[in-house]
Amino acid sequence: MASMTVELRSVDTTQAALGWAGGHTIVVDRPEGKAGGLGLGFNGAQLLGLAIGGCFANDLRYVAHDMRVELGTIAITVTVELNGDPLLMTGATMTVACEMLDGSNAEDLIAKASATTMVTNSIRNGAPVKIQAIGSNGANSG
pLDDT confidence of residue 49: 97
pLDDT confidence of residue 135: 81
Same domain, 55 and 25: no
pLDDT tens string, the chain, 142 residues long: the values are 899 999 999 999 999 999 999 999 999 999 999 999 999 999 999 999 999 999 999 999 999 999 999 999 999 999 999 999 999 999 999 999 999 999 999 999 999 999 999 999 999 999 999 999 998 766 665 5
Same domain, 29 and 64: no
Task: Give the domain range for residue 35.
Answer: 1-42
Same domain, 58 and 114: yes
Total tally of structural domains belonging to the chain: 2
Which residues pair with residue 21 across a beta bridge?
Answer: 24
pLDDT confidence of residue 140: 61
Same domain, 85 and 70: yes
139 in a domain, yes or no?
no
116 in a domain, yes or no?
yes
Q: Give me the torsion for CA of 109, 119, 97, 83, rounded to 10°.
A: 140
138 in a domain, yes or no?
no
Same domain, 8 and 66: no
131 in a domain, yes or no?
no
Same domain, 99 and 34: no
Angle between helices 44-67 and 118-125 (to 10 degrees): 120
133 in a domain, yes or no?
no
Same domain, 32 and 59: no
Collect all residues with Cβ–Cβ distance below 8 Å to 4 and sequence separation of at least 6.
Answer: 21
